[in-house]
Chain A
């Protein structure tokens, strides 16, 4: 019963990933693509979580945490780049 539900949710997740990829490829502007990448990270988080339950393995939980952080950092980096043209600003004292 639970396994069927998990596989079912995996199916929808896959569908959602492909929808994200569509936006990633098509996305008329860079922010669209960055949004897609961010969403992709979140989808992968849930995908990995469902897999862990399916496999009965707790080894991937760190991965879930990490992906949450990194996806955030990546998105911030992109956002800063688009907003200010640089990722890491220099001090203006130079």
Chain B
């Protein structure tokens, strides 16, 4: 246990105190103020690592958790995890500050909110710093669960519960797939430590392993579901039912980037394989396009931002995919060209966290101050909320990729990366490969359109005050501070990108591509102006086309109406759930009939199939007549008599006949014991038989008077077949068992009973001496049966109650 461990566990430890603080202090002070210190402490503590990590050092500390399985709580801090840690702690601080002003002290269950939030924060911290894959998985699932709790924070709303359930199902599905993938990965690499998987020459050895592709796909499913990639992106828009601070924190800045983190983290393991390149790049691009096109049609501001998050995550994901090509080229100079894509991904990740956090908070402010998030009801807010307007412009333009905001830089790098990809030798002259820049460009144009919608439809145009419930005014200062800080960061990153790059982005980059970093190939200078090159023309094209599209939005908006609602992914998800539920209910209804008869049929058929089947398959049936004892005439005639009385039981028309025949059968069985020289058995059998017969007669009295089934047993062909089959199987098993004796019986030992136990009766000596425990337990069984019968007869509570009710009637 070291200070770093304590840092990760700090949110979890503090969670314990929140309810007490809430109960004690909430009437005077918003609980959020106590919580605020936790992310702040984390942030300040993590900042102290920046100089160390930016010099290329990594920190590695371990704490045993389950040592016998080599599962240790290992923390590995390199550039990548430090970057994520700073994002989590930094935006976490701002979000807590924002939530203090956003959530009402009187109306909301604040202790729940901050408990869930801190759980999430701790889980996310653990996720990015864990080196052991299983610890990573534990934290991964904790983020899913805490996200579930946070989405359903207003649990009395239907939509919140729906969104929470949906995100839970999808992310847990992905998480489980990822667990399988991680286990496969540990089998391939023979280690649980990501650091060890990445280091050394193991990478090349992996690709030839059979499990390489399955592990890759399963892990990617996990990453894609968490990061809302196509087609698993559907949970994110529904997760917008969460309070806005949560949307800003989880569903834009941190949790949805867990998948990105995982992909980046495992790039050294899987990168360089074609499948990885195409899967990550392809899915990323499709998500980018899907998100940006869908964002344009949204009328709810948060839904718009959700789809834009999906789209931006797709952008980052595709950049990571493109960057993985660097590993395909090994360590050559070409690799460095493609490695820039990874840098762009990391850069955009930071940028996105800043501007998207800012935008979500502004949307929260609008919602808070006007009471609606619907674009159609908003407009002309510019004069009422100038600061929010400025912040929206900053965030929106950054998202659209315009100067002078940080989005411009990463968008330019994105274009550079997609243009570079055409030169790649396995993409060259490939139709899909050349499609990549085109798709990226189209998606960027749509991005521009929805950014403009966000800014201008909300703040410009006619003032629709009558439609708005409250008198509009600017938000309190405390609510504005967090987005202001983020907005300031957006501009600062544009102004001084190289400071950020040198201290944070470069180390993170070398965390993704450690081998290239060792060779010193990863050096980059970000500049806002780098000549009139293709990227700049592409950006200008985006602006021109985007502006035209925005201005003519009303004319082509009908295009969206062509696409049928029934073919959306959400509908598919809903229908799939419904059909699965219906299908499983039908199947269950079908075989769980409620009749013991049917269940017995299953059991007997199972016995016949399993026992008979294995007898037949493995040639288990053996019959050796030499083992048989000689058969004499009494036994034969006794068997005939028994068969006749057994058949009489089956074919009898009245219960009485059946009981009498059972009695006769019992007599014959005891006679058999005589023939086989077992006097004790014969005695017991006879007594038990008589008692049973008398009990049967007792039962007769209690049978209901009406509907007495004096009819012939309903004959069913299937039942007859099954019973015959069971008889044949059991008989053949008995014959085979008799035919194959593996070792002689141990009964000769008991023949010395007189010497050993002082008993002449061997059977009784075995029962009470050699194996007395069995007898004791049999006595117990009889006692329990007797007590049970007594209780059943005496303790008829419900029956008595019913009788009284009937009397009352």
| Min CB gap A16→B, angstroms | 11
- What 0/1 readout, one digit per residue, does chain B (690-709) give for beta carbons within 8 Å of chain A? 10011001101100000000
Tell me the bound Cα distance from A58 to B675 in angstroms: 13
- Tell me, rounded to whole Å, the shortest Cβ–Cβ distance linking A30 to chain B: 5
Indicate if the CB atoms of B644 and A25 lie closer than 8 Å: yes
Q: Which of B645, B683, B693 is the one whose CB lies under 8 Å from A74?
A: B693
With beta carbons under 8 angstroms apart, the residue of A14, A77, A88 that contacts B637 is A14
> Within 8 Å of chain B (Cβ to Cβ): is A57?
yes
* Distance of A38 Cα from B151 Cα, bound (Å): 79
> Quick check: B641 and A66 within 8 Å, CB to CB?
no
Whether B660 lies near A63 (C-beta < 8 A) is: no
Tell me what chain A mostly uses at the interface: helix, strand, loop, or mixed.
helix
Q: Given A63-B686, A66-B686, are A81 and B697 neighbors across the interface (CB < 8 Å)?
A: yes
Contact partner of A30 (CB less than 8 A), chosen from B660, B664, B671, B682, is B660
CB distance A73 to B663 under 8 Å? no
B639, chain A: closest CB distance, angstroms: 12
CB interface residues, B 655-671, toward A, < 8 Å: 656-657, 660-661, 663-664, 667, 670-671
What band does the interface of chain B fall in when counting residues whose beta carbon is under 8 Å from A? Answer: 20 to 34
Our pick among A34, A41, A51, A55 for the contact of B667 (Cβ within 8 Å) is A41
User: What is the chain A residue whose CB lies nearest that of B671?
Assistant: A44
Using A21-B645, A37-B660, A78-B697 as known contacts, say yes or no to A62 and B683 having CB atoms under 8 A apart: yes
The yes or no answer to B679 lying at the interface (CB within 8 A) is yes
Q: Is the CB of B648 within 8 A of A24?
A: yes
Task: Assess the A81–B700 pair: CB atoms within 8 A.
Answer: yes
The answer to the question of B519 belonging to the interface, with a C-beta cut-off of 8 Å to chain A, is no
Chain A neighbourhood of B686, CB < 8 A = 63, 66-67, 70
Please name all residues of chain B whose beta carbon is closer than 8 Å to the beta carbon of A85 when the two chains form the complex: 701
A21's contact among B641, B656, B682, by CB below 8 Å, is which?
B641
**Contact code string A76-94 (vs B, CB < 8 Å = 1, else 0):** 0110010001111000000
Chain A positions within 8 Å of B689 at CB level: 70
- 0/1 interface trace, chain A 9-41, chain B, CB 8 Å (1 if under): 010001001100100110100100110110011
B677 within 8 Å of A by Cβ? yes
Interfacial chain B residues near A41, Cβ < 8 Å: 667
- Residue picked from A27, A48, A70, most chain B C-beta under 10 Å: A70
Smallest beta-carbon distance A15→chain B, Å: 9
**Given the complex, which residues of A lie within 8 Å of B674, measured CB to CB?**
47-48, 51, 60, 63
Interface assignment of A59: CB less than 8 Å from any CB of chain B: yes
Q: Is B603 an interface residue (CB 8 A)?
A: no
**Interface pair A66/B687, CB less than 8 Å apart:** yes
Contact B667 A40 (CB under 8 A): yes
Minimum Cβ distance to chain A for residue B690 (Å): 4
Q: Is B677 touching A87 in the complex (CB atoms < 8 A)?
A: no
> Once bound together, how far apart are the Cα atoms of A33 and B659, in whole Å?
10
Q: How many angstroms from the CA of A69 to the CA of B671 in the assembled complex?
A: 16
A-B contact count (CB 8 A): 94
Which residues from A are CB-within-8-Å of B656?
30, 33
Q: Is the CB of B644 within 8 A of A47?
A: no
Question: Are A48 and B671 closer than 8 Å at their CB atoms?
Answer: yes
When C-beta atoms are compared, the residue in chain B nearest to A29 turns out to be B656
Q: Which residues of B contact A86 (CB under 8 A)?
A: 701
Q: Tell me whether B634 and A21 are in contact (CB under 8 A).
A: no
Closest Cβ–Cβ distance, residue A17 to chain B (whole Å): 6
CB neighbours of A62 from chain B (8 A): 679, 683
**CA of A36 to CA of B657, assembled, Å:** 11
B661 touches A10 (CB 8 A): no
A90 to B780, CA, bound (A): 29
Query: Most A CB atoms within 10 A — which of B645, B660, B682, B689?
Result: B660
> In the complex, are the beta carbons of A30 and B657 less than 8 A apart?
yes
By the criterion CB–CB under 8 Å, are B701 and A87 in contact? yes
Which residues of chain B come closer than 8 Å to A81, judged between CB atoms? 697, 700
The chain B residue sitting closest to A7, CB to CB, is: B633
Q: Contact: B687 with A87, CB < 8 Å?
A: no
User: Whole-angstrom distance between the alpha carbons of A71 and B698 in the complex?
Assistant: 17
Chain B residue with the shortest CB-CB distance to A78: B697
B660 close to A34 (CB less than 8 A): yes
Report yes or no: B648 in contact with A25, Cβ–Cβ below 8 A: yes
Contact of A63 among B645, B682, B693 (CB under 8 A): B682
User: What's the nearest-Cβ distance from chain B to residue A53, in Å?
Assistant: 13
**Cα distance A47–B675 when bound, in Å?**
10
Smallest beta-carbon distance A11→chain B, Å: 9
* Residue pair A60, B701 in contact (C-beta under 8 Å): no
Shortest Cβ distance from residue A47 to the other chain B in the assembled complex, whole angstroms: 7
Chain B residue nearest to A88 (CB atoms) is: B698
CB-CB under 8 A from A10, the residues of chain B are: 634
Q: Complex formed: what's the CA distance from A68 to B660 in Å?
A: 17
Known contacts A41-B667, A81-B700; is A66 also within 8 Å of B683 by CB? Answer: yes
Please, how many angstroms separate the alpha-carbon atoms of A62 and B681 in the complex?
12
Which B residues lie within 8 Å of A27 (CB)?
Answer: 657
Choice from A18, A70, A78 contacting B687 with Cβ under 8 Å: A70
| From A14, A33, A60, residue with most partner B Cβ within 10 Å | A33
14 residue pairs from A and B, CB less than 8 Å apart: A10-B634, A25-B661, A30-B654, A30-B660, A33-B657, A34-B660, A48-B674, A59-B679, A60-B674, A67-B686, A70-B690, A74-B693, A78-B697, A88-B698
Q: A24-B660, A33-B657, A51-B674 are in contact. List 20 more A-B contacts (CB 8 A).
A: A10-B634, A18-B640, A21-B644, A24-B645, A25-B648, A30-B660, A36-B664, A37-B660, A37-B667, A47-B671, A48-B674, A62-B679, A63-B670, A63-B679, A63-B682, A70-B687, A77-B694, A81-B700, A87-B698, A88-B698
Q: Top 5 closest A-B pairs, CB basis?
A: A70-B690, A59-B679, A33-B660, A30-B656, A81-B697
